[in-house]
Structure 1
Amino acid sequence: MNKTFADHVIDFNKNISYTGNLPEGFEVLNPYLDNPETLMVMQKFYHQYYDDSVRRKFMIGINPSRHGAGVTGVPFTDTKRLENVCGITMKSAHTHEVSSVFMYDMIEEYGGADLFYKDVYINSPFPLAIVRRTRNGWLNANYYDDKELFKSVKDFMIESLKKHLSLNLDASEVFILGKKNAEFISKLNKEAKLFDTLTVLEHPRYIQQYKSKEKQLYIDKYILALKK
């Protein structure tokens, strides 16, 4: 039997591991190893929305946060939205993520989760959570926060993006979340020639935290970009 889009994503997530070096003070978290329920809900999600072989648009985040995909295994999806929108309950964790709020408000206006996920696949160039040691304990980090960190993970990111594209994603245009993220994806793209066109959208966290009064404008911008 031919594998579906869901099967390929699940295989990717199950087998993902980062074994490269990291600068002092950084660690990588693999949600699929840390919590068995994460693996279960991630599989339910992809079987629910991606059980086909349809070609999709590719939307790229930064790297999973500890409270979003770092818990649920699903990009920009906290446990609240996983349960309330997708109907998948997670018993071992309860999370609220700022980015997830914007993303699911946008998805609702797009036409709902079924329609959105039929058209779009979201993941990150570095698909595992990165944390940084601080005086206040371990905090979320972005792959581009530190020059040495980016240098360490760059090749792994290119390989990950190539694997994502092999899932049957449209490489003619990629939708990148966050302007700084786009600068770094552009560097990778120059080197690896992965995508034809890079379309940059403001990151959901930025919109939700700093532009909440203009949220509708950004929702419209996302939908116009994705449906054109």
Structure 2
Amino acid sequence: MTVAENILNFYQSLTPPSGLPPDVVVLNPYKDEQAMEACTLFYQKYYSDSRERIALFGINPGRFGGGLTGVPFTDPIHLEETCEIKNNLDKRPELSSRFIYEMIAAFGGPALFYQKFYLSAVSPIGFVREGKNLNYYDINGWPDIFEEYVVACIREQLELPISRNVAFSIGQGENLKYLNALNAKYKFFDEIRTVPHPRWVMQYRLKRKAEFVNQYIESLSKA
């Protein structure tokens, strides 16, 4: 099987973790016909091979990016205009996607980037509360809710195949802390490195965006 086939099988089998509070709404684009069609075309275009890649784990998808398209850090605009995957999804820009695709352009474009890297998330499905994006680590009781779920998701993705030498946390706070704790316990990767979260850059360090794009390129190139 190709990497694309393995990824799509993984996504189509996803279910939310049990024990979520009743006020948490799940974002699972892989149950949406339009999103799954676009997502399938994306992975067939960029991952129809057996090449091992380095994984980058974000937090969880947001409602205007990966939570809508099924492609992590990719809003419908970049999915169509940059990745050349036509779609009928709501063409609303998303901050993290803007940064990621500027970085991908600087790296050499989607074909080269996706040949070497695999974007994912600690929780591959997203969450919303009161109409706003919700990080997995802001959900009440999250350590008990997520450990078994996240471990199972990472183990399945390692079979895509994913490099065991190094992985990246996208985010230098709670996401990195949690990934490091899980990695120390379950020994997924030899090393976890980190890059800043795109939303943090775009919201709080916009004037230094070029600096952080360069930081990504340098860190990923060394890996």
Counterpart of 2:24 in structure 1 is 26
Q: Does 1:6 align with 2:4?
A: yes
Match of 2:188 in 1: 194
Conservation of the 8 A alpha-carbon contact between 1:23 and 1:149:
no
- Matched with 2:99 is 102
Gapped runs of 5+ residues in structure 1? none
Partners in 1 of 2:27 and 2:205 — Cα distance?
Answer: 30
In structure 2, the partner of 1:145 is 138
SS of the residue corresponding to residue 179 of structure 1 reads coil
Query: More deviation in 159-168 or 107-116?
Result: 159-168
**Equivalent-residue separation in structure 1 for 2:21 and 2:34 (angstroms):** 30
Larger deviation, residues 161-170 vs 22-31:
22-31
Unaligned runs of 5+ in 2: none
Counterpart mapping for 1:58-137 below 5 A = 58-132=55-129, 137=130
1:162 partnered with 2:155: yes
| Structure 1 length-normalised TM | 0.93
Partner of 2:211: 217
> By how many angstroms is 1:6 displaced?
0.4
Q: CA deviation at 1:37?
A: 0.5
Q: Is the 8 A contact 1:55 1:169 kept in 2?
A: yes
Contact 1:143 1:150 in 2 (8 A): no
Give distance in 2, aligned partners of 1:122 and 1:19.
21
Q: Distance in 2 between matches of 1:84 and 1:121?
A: 20
Following superposition, the deviation at residue 19 of structure 1 comes to: 4.8
Paired positions, count: 221
TM-score, with structure 2 as normaliser: 0.95
Cα deviation, 1:121-169, whole Å, max 9, x if unaligned, reads 000111001112xxxx321101111350232122101110111111111
The answer for the alignment partner of 2:37 in structure 1 is 40
